[in-house]
Amino acid sequence: MITVKREKISWLRKFYLLQIAGGLRLTFSHLLKNFFKPDRMNTVFYPEEKKDLPPTTRGRHRLMKREGGGPRCTACMLCATNCPAECIHILAEEVDDIHIEKRPAQFNIDLLRCVFCGLCVEACPLDAIRMDVPRTVFAGYTRESFVLDKATLMDHNNEEFVPAYNPERPVQITHGIHARP
Ligand code: SF4
Ligand code: SF4
């Protein structure tokens, strides 16, 4: 039988007294600093005050429009296929335009399943979907209220947008579809 010798631990270490004292010292130093210099506090008084979001923020989705106001999306399903959460549901319809052929009759995104990974944006060959609506907090009473439909995704009124991370990112331009404005 092997006897393992245990290391002797001092009572100071056993009761974490030094660590507790260090934690209290840090807490009180912050308390006093904030009390005497409130203008230097890092606190943001949300929602009255909002911090500027960085350009890499992934916010709520929106669907981009063509010049005529229709959706830029051609219902190619690449975003829905690449979505790891399977939360994009598109119902395609035919368009009487040989350059477009299809567009979404329905385009729904279930925000309760979305993990905001941005893969749908990356997968889209037409820059038809972006995640630049600076909303990161959502609230609702029903599951349905978290489903963004096509009309909501295309409603750009009263919205501000997070500036594109890289406006020079090459976007495939096909048949009158316009790149980033
Ligand atoms: S952000 Fe990710 S999870 Fe959300 S819809 Fe796009 S691909 Fe799906
Ligand atoms: S990848 Fe782009 S064009 Fe294709 S369905 Fe999605 S949003 Fe529409």
pLDDT digits (tens, 9 = 90+) for 76-114: 999 999 999 999 999 999 998 888 889 999 999 999 999
Q: Note the pLDDT tens digit of each residue in 124-179.
A: 999 999 998 887 788 899 999 999 999 999 998 866 777 665 555 544 444 444 44
- How far apart are the CA of 22 and the centre of ligand 1, in A? 44
Total tally of structural domains belonging to the chain: 2
From the alpha carbon of 131, which atom of ligand 1 is closest? Answer: 1
In a shared domain, residues 133 and 82: yes
- Does 124 reside within a domain? yes
- How far apart are the CA of 102 and the centre of ligand 2, in A? 11
Ligand nearest to the CA of 92: 2
Ligand nearest to the CA of 177: 2
Q: What is the domain range of residue 28?
A: 10-50
pLDDT at 7 (0 to 100): 86
pLDDT at 55 (0 to 100): 78
pLDDT at 166 (0 to 100): 54
Q: From the CB of 74, is ligand 2 less than 6 Å away?
A: yes
Look at ligand 2, atom 6, and give the residue with the nearest C-alpha: 79
- How far apart are the CA of 65 and the centre of ligand 2, in A? 12
**DSSP 3-state percent helix, strand, coil across the chain (nearest 5):** 25, 15, 60
* Measured distance CA(19)–CA(45) in Å, rounded: 32
In a shared domain, residues 109 and 149: yes
CATH number, domain at 91? 3.30.70.3270
The residue with greater pLDDT, 45 or 87, is 87
pLDDT-derived band at 39, boundaries 50, 70, 90:
confident
Q: From the CB of 109, is ligand 2 less than 6 Å away?
A: no
Look at ligand 1, atom 3, and give the residue with the nearest C-alpha: 114
pLDDT at 177 (0 to 100): 42
- Does 26 reside within a domain? yes
- Does 4 reside within a domain? no
Look at ligand 1, atom 4, and give the residue with the nearest C-alpha: 114
- Does 3 reside within a domain? no
- How far apart are the CA of 69 and the centre of ligand 1, in A? 24
In a shared domain, residues 37 and 80: no
| CA–centroid distance for 46 within its chain | 18
